[in-house]
Amino acid sequence: MTTETATRTPPSPGALGEVPSIPCTEECLLRPGNTNCGGCGMSVGLTMLGRALEEAGEACTLAIPACCGAVTAGAFPTTSYGAPVVNTTFASAAAVASGLACVRDLNEERGQVICWAGDGGTYDIGIATLSAAAERNDNILYICYDNEIYGNTGGQRSSATPPGARTSTTPSGKTEDKKDMMSIMVAHGIPYTATLSIAHPVDFRRKLETAFTITGTRFLLMHSPCPTGWKSEPSDSVELVRIAVSSGLFPLYEVWNGKTYRLNTLPDWTDPAEYFKRQRRFKDYEIDLDATTRVCRERFERLAVLAERFPHDG
Amino acid sequence: MPVEVVTGNHAAGHALSVAAEANRDARGAACGIYPITPQTEIVEYVAKYPFTKCRVVPVESEHSAMGVSIGASLAGARAFTASSSNGLAYMVENIMVAGFYRLPIVMAAVNRTLGPPWNIWADHGDTLMLRDFPWIQFYCESNQEIMDTTLLAFRIAEDHRILLPALVALDAFILSHTQGETDLADQGQADRYLPHLDLPHRMRHDDPKTLGGLMWPDVAASLRLEIDEAMLRVPAVFEEARAEFVEVFGRDPGGALQTLGTEDAETILVAIGSIATTTHEVVQARRAAGEKVGLIKLKMFRPFPEEAFRDACRTASRVGVLDRNYAAGMGGVFWQDIRAAFQSTRNDLLIQDYLTGLCGGDVTPAMIDEVLSDLMARERAERPVWMGIAA
């Protein structure tokens, strides 16, 4: 297993690594022919999830609340999903997954029960349900693809929207900070919590594989570029989230049991200016780049202290 | 099992538990549970039951209680839960989903006044809020009926001709917390009565399907039509399940409508839930005195047993509906449906609504007598009559 730790030399941000090429067929988790937007981070995430499941020999059942992941299926009688999927009510993904998972476990069956949810269904309407499942340590894998916006409804603010971002409900730019969902989930003390970036596919895949081997609630937070909502070029998607990692805006790290930490890449403190400039959602809003970098550095410093004081062994 | 003196909540909890246990050699059972007065004892009973293969998940809200039960049912387990009043209101979104996903979940619902104000007593407004969803609805008048109807509900809900969730309603405190002699089903009886659950559309890896995705109007509407067809099959399946019940348990769980004196009654009262017991007593006394009065107890409200209802009223010229609920701007919910049932078939029938025992008010024999006297003296039906209102 590849492990990237803060103590080793991290790979250059965005190194693609060895991603095996698997042909897309009907058996794929995300089948070809879906109508998702070009440059959609969620679609890349689903493809990576599918490949990781295939490599691990794991089947999966998806519980998807209202979000772009629900739209991905397309119209009946066709579906873009090569796995059983249930569309849940907006707040219920984790609860429905808990029900599915407990019956799987009662019957000693294999297969991951995975919630595939956006930030609206995770940070906002679904947070109580998710928190409760985590508190019970139900045996589910919850993956939040965070595009920092209610994308499916045309781009409204969520509590994951970063300050300065213009959305249809924050026409002059959001003034509040982004909710720190990772810290909230870490505070639940669940067995595994990690951040994912599609610009770091090796790290992404390794974390999925790690999550598959763990029993209990696992929470993965993926930074998910959304050209439609971010008003960015589809071809910039990977580059944008790469800058988010290298500038410290979106640190890659893992936490076990809410106690032991591991940092996966060290930011090189790339100037985040490019990140904001290439997204028209930040247009007309004066982003204080120095303050942003300062906040990022402080957050990373805290994580680094935790990782040094409470390192994850193994 | 010997007859025990137990509360309605105990009867409901016991029935849910033996039903869940009866699926132990199949895919087991599971439920999400959440407390609310006066239902809490039901989920407490379930939480401490020594199951062989059942997971009880104590969740953070009613919404999630039904969410967990939906997931469990989709995975092929026998699923159930219990709630009441504002808890049902909070659960509504997932109650609807369970119906549209055709999941045979059984829910014990203790009828309690929807708040505000804070009032924990009996009123049917909470479950009637759910009347337009694809759920079968039963209302009980005794602890024995709660026990029996809950098992009957699983049997009907899980029948492949039906595949709809069912709720078994019981009046707050009057039944939920009042002890009465109840013949509790033993496990052997429940095992004989309930076949293993086989959900044809359960989620499986060897046949991946996407449930609840985008569907065009005509196809989506065809699913509504299928629900209607299933609903129309309920009365016949109910009678089969009832006959089987008699065979296994040696007692009759009762039909969709239960009547007294309707064969010759000129005046009929319609009662639902525990009010039926009081009304039965008054009607019986009046009949003994030679009056041609009758009683229809409505046990099954959804699907509405329209034909049976019309048939039971064939000799009547007046019907009084005792509604323990109020639909704002309209009147009693049962009254509305009963009026609709006679639309263009019996324009001569006087159908008067009496809003009785709202928000947990006592419904006494004297009050039923007052209703009967008012009804029998009436020339025509008018707006609903409000009974027992504070001066």
Tens of each residue's pLDDT in chain B, 391 residues: 679 999 999 999 999 999 999 999 999 999 999 999 999 999 999 999 999 999 999 999 999 999 999 999 999 999 999 999 999 999 999 999 999 999 999 999 999 999 999 999 999 999 999 999 999 999 999 999 999 999 999 999 999 999 999 999 999 999 999 999 999 999 999 999 999 999 999 999 999 999 999 999 999 999 999 999 999 999 999 999 999 999 999 999 999 999 999 999 999 999 999 999 999 999 999 999 999 999 999 999 999 999 999 999 999 999 999 999 999 999 999 999 999 999 989 989 999 999 999 999 999 999 999 999 999 999 999 999 999 999 8
Q: Are B111 and B89 in contact (CB under 8 A)?
A: no
Record: contact B28-A103, CB cut-off 8 A: yes
Contacts of A103 in chain B (CB under 8 A): 27-28, 30, 55, 71-72, 75-77
Nearest C-alpha of chain B: how many angstroms from A20? 24
Chain B 95-124, residues with CB within 8 Å of chain A CB atoms? 97
Q: Report how far apart the first and last C-alpha atoms of chain A are (Å, whole number).
A: 11
Nearest C-alpha of chain A: how many angstroms from B214? 5
Record: contact B205-A138, CB cut-off 8 A: no
pLDDT per position as a tens digit, A112-140:
999 999 999 999 999 999 999 999 999 99
CB atoms within 10 A of CB B350: 17
Record: contact B71-A59, CB cut-off 8 A: no
Contacts of A117 in chain B (CB under 8 A): none
pLDDT for A24: 58
Q: Which of A262, A245, A258 is nearest to A206 (CA)?
A: A262
Give, in order, the Cα–Cα distances in Å from B70 to each of A33, B34, B75, B94. Answer: 30, 15, 9, 8
High-pLDDT (> 70) share of chain A, %? 91
Chain B 25-44, residues with CB within 8 Å of chain A CB atoms? 27-28, 30, 32
Is the pLDDT confidence value at A16 over 70? no
pLDDT level of residue A195 (50, 70, 90 thresholds): very high
Q: CB of B58 within 8 Å of any CB in chain A?
A: yes
Record: contact B67-A96, CB cut-off 8 A: yes
Beta strands at B300-302 and B136-139: parallel, antiparallel or unpaired: antiparallel
Sheet of B257-260, strand order = B257-260, B293-298, B267-271, B318-323, B350-355, B385-386
- In a mutagenesis test of the A interface, which of B90, B203, B219 is the best target, namely the one with the most A β-carbons within 10 Å? B203
Helix (H, G, I), strand (E, B) or coil at A314: coil
Q: Are B37 and B84 in contact (CB under 8 A)?
A: yes
DSSP A52: H
High-pLDDT (> 90) share of chain A, %? 87
Record: contact B209-A79, CB cut-off 8 A: yes
pLDDT for A23: 58
Largest CA distance in chain B: 68
Report the chain A residue with the minimal C-alpha distance to residue B53: A106
Contacts of A140 in chain B (CB under 8 A): none
Q: CB of B380 within 8 Å of any CB in chain A?
A: no
Q: Which among A70, A83, A101 is the nearest to B208, CB-wise?
A: A83
Q: CB of A114 within 8 Å of any CB in chain B?
A: no
Q: Which among B55, B71, B219 is the nearest to A97, CB-wise?
A: B71
Report the chain B residue with the minimal C-alpha distance to residue A27: B208
Contacts of B196 in chain A (CB under 8 A): none
pLDDT for A84: 97
pLDDT per position as a tens digit, A73-122:
999 999 999 999 999 999 999 999 999 999 999 999 999 999 999 999 99
* Tokens at A250, concatenated: 């979106």
Is the pLDDT confidence value at A12 over 50? no
Q: Are B297 and B384 in contact (CB under 8 A)?
A: no
Helix (H, G, I), strand (E, B) or coil at A276: helix
pLDDT level of residue A22 (50, 70, 90 thresholds): low
Q: CB of B68 within 8 Å of any CB in chain A?
A: yes
Nearest C-alpha of chain B: how many angstroms from A26? 11
Q: Count chain A–chain B contacts defined by CB atoms under 8 A.
A: 158
Q: CB of A116 within 8 Å of any CB in chain B?
A: no
| CA–CA separation, B156 and A130 (whole Å) | 34
Q: Which among B65, B75, B212 is the nearest to A104, CB-wise?
A: B75
Q: Are B206 and B80 in contact (CB under 8 A)?
A: no
Nearest C-alpha of chain B: how many angstroms from A111? 9
pLDDT for B391: 84
- In a mutagenesis test of the B interface, which of A80, A106, A112, A142 is the best target, namely the one with the most B β-carbons within 10 Å? A106
Q: CB of B327 within 8 Å of any CB in chain A?
A: no
Contacts of A132 in chain B (CB under 8 A): 59-61, 64
DSSP A227: H
pLDDT for A286: 84
Nearest C-alpha of chain B: how many angstroms from A32? 16
* Tokens at B138, concatenated: 């039963």
pLDDT level of residue A21 (50, 70, 90 thresholds): low
Q: Are B327 and B310 in contact (CB under 8 A)?
A: no
Mean local confidence (pLDDT), A37-43: 97
ipTM over the 0.85 cut-off:
yes
Whole-number CA gyration radius for chain A:
18
Q: CB of A34 within 8 Å of any CB in chain B?
A: no
The residue assigned the tokens 């039951």 is B49
Contacts of A73 in chain B (CB under 8 A): 210, 213-214
Burial class (CB in 10 A: 0-12, 13-18, 19+), A278: middle
Q: CB of A107 within 8 Å of any CB in chain B?
A: yes
Q: Are B334 and B351 in contact (CB under 8 A)?
A: no
